[in-house]
Amino acid sequence: MPDRKILLEESDIPKQWYNIVPDLPHPLPPFIDAATGQPGVGIVPRIFPKEIIGQEISQERWINIPDEVREVYRIWRPTPLFRALGLEKALKTPAKIYYKYEGTSPAGSHKPNTAVPQAFYNMKEGTTRLSTETGAGQWGSALAFAAGVFDLKATVYMVRASFDQKPYRKMMMNAFGAECIASPSNKTEAGRKILAEDPDNKGSLGIAISEAVEDALVNEKETNYAIGSVFNHVCLHQTVEGLEAKKQLEMVDDYPDVVYGCIGGGSSYSGIMWPFYYDQVTKKAPKETKFVATEATACPKVTKGVYQYDHGDTAKITPLVPMHTLGHDFIPAPIHAGGLRYHGISPIISLLTQEKKMTTEAFNQLEVFDAAKLFIQTEGIIPAPEPSHAIKGAIDEALRCKKTGEAKTILFVLCGHGFFDMAAYDEYFSGKLQPYEYPTEKVAESMDKLHKLYPWLNEVNKKYISCETY
């Protein structure tokens, strides 16, 4: 009988992150300044430390992990790789299923993998306070933890819908020493404007980003902004997931045929995927690996959204980013996977999708919780709703294998536990969950608005993304 858990030693924690950028099929399109329609990074240099900006645009394949960061990683890394023996047995599949479990971190998810280096670089460059946004609260509590480690203050703007649904997340941020504010708030101009129009606004990641960025700009002297996903440097830091998982699979002489994960901004999936993509590009892989992301039908940025330039936030403070988007004015349905409710996605995920290096599948939350239930009762871990999308994808793949008889190796990243999501499980078990599908017409409406706002957008799309997308 194989082991359920494949464990590494602390000395196995990677010494370098893997940067996919130089290995992409073609260069990443630039950010566009909305004021000019020309390439430009706008406020970006004002809100991040220099080291982070360097990583954001780096063309180096391997970037050293500072010793101080590896020292903090040791609190919970390396994380375990599980062989899902219970799930395989229940599915009666010939496939082998593995999952990289990131829920053992202080914040209960993969997010501290990037929160720690971000806090470290900020501390090193003299920042004393960080501002950020959070959806489900995973990122906010990770940054709260990391800020505490390096003696920085932290303010977290939390999407109102999640703030109300998950009160314990706020308390966790407080326990790590950070401040947590429901967004939209009256602390920022962006927030006040939205509340004036709609005092009951439930918020969105786009709005919370606007608030956090404004906070960093207004308090520029001592405050920087930290971001939990989407950006290259964030995805880069997450590659410890895939680098460890590869080593762990080597220990049992295995290699994935397919790699699943869920995408909100795309960082946890990039973390597991990039190192295996590297093997493909450099011809080091023993076989061809398929990369499949999963998203929510309530927020189908890749499967229903449009690949083009759009703002990363609702208040249009950020530059225009080349990505799949549902429109920066997107207001998500209150699904429980708060971390998947972002209107856009990492530009790298978008480029890889366009170049057919990966695909995305969308699931509604009812089928996702069905998958989570089976997982709980066979594997004994309560997953967060976000990675339950990946579980659903992996289960479907394992069931396809059952039909075809293929003994595929399936790997997915279980990016966080669901101990703070029990209210969601309660709704599911009491039959109250809505499936939610985002209507295609709504996407069209948002795109119309966007193109009215920036009449030159099609031209810019054509020039930099190399396709007229809308």
Contact at 8 Å (CB) between 459 and 208? no
In the complex with a second copy, the residue whose CB is nearer, 115 or 457, is 115
Site map for a second copy, 92-121, x if CB under 8 A?
Answer: ------------xxx-x-------------
H-state helical runs in 405-439: 422-429
Angle, CA of 103, 106 and 110, to the nearest 5°:
45
Other CB atoms within 10 Å distance of the CB of residue 395: 25
In the complex with a second copy, the residue whose CB is nearer, 406 or 426, is 426
Check binding of 164 to a second copy (CB under 8 A).
Answer: no
CA distance 89 to 93: 7
User: The tokens of 47 are what?
Assistant: 């809100």
Among 42, 179, 376, 436, binds a second copy (CB under 8 A): 376
Site map for a second copy, 128-147, x if CB under 8 A?
Answer: -----------------x--
Site map for a second copy, 172-191, x if CB under 8 A?
Answer: x-xxxx--------------
Cα end-to-end span (Å), the chain: 54
For residue 262, give every residue at least 6 positions away whose Cβ sits within 8 Å of its Cβ, in sequence order, or none: 268, 269, 293, 294, 295, 337, 339, 340, 386, 387, 388, 389, 390, 415
Residue 164's H or E segment, with its range, is helix 160-165
Check binding of 253 to a second copy (CB under 8 A).
Answer: no
CA distance 119 to 346: 21
**Which DSSP category does 257 fall into?**
S
In the complex with a second copy, the residue whose CB is nearer, 89 or 193, is 89
Among 43, 54, 61, 76, binds a second copy (CB under 8 A): 76
CA distance 75 to 123: 19
In the complex with a second copy, the residue whose CB is nearer, 327 or 416, is 416
Among 57, 196, 251, 422, binds a second copy (CB under 8 A): 422
Check binding of 332 to a second copy (CB under 8 A).
Answer: no
Among 61, 192, 357, 373, binds a second copy (CB under 8 A): 373
Check binding of 148 to a second copy (CB under 8 A).
Answer: yes
Q: Smallest distance from the beta carbon of 249 to a second copy, in angstroms? A: 17
Q: Which residues in this chain contact a second copy in the complex, by CB under 8 A?
A: 1, 3-5, 7, 9-10, 71, 74-76, 86, 104-106, 108, 145, 148-149, 167-168, 171-172, 174-177, 373, 376-377, 379-382, 417, 419-420, 422-423, 425-426, 429
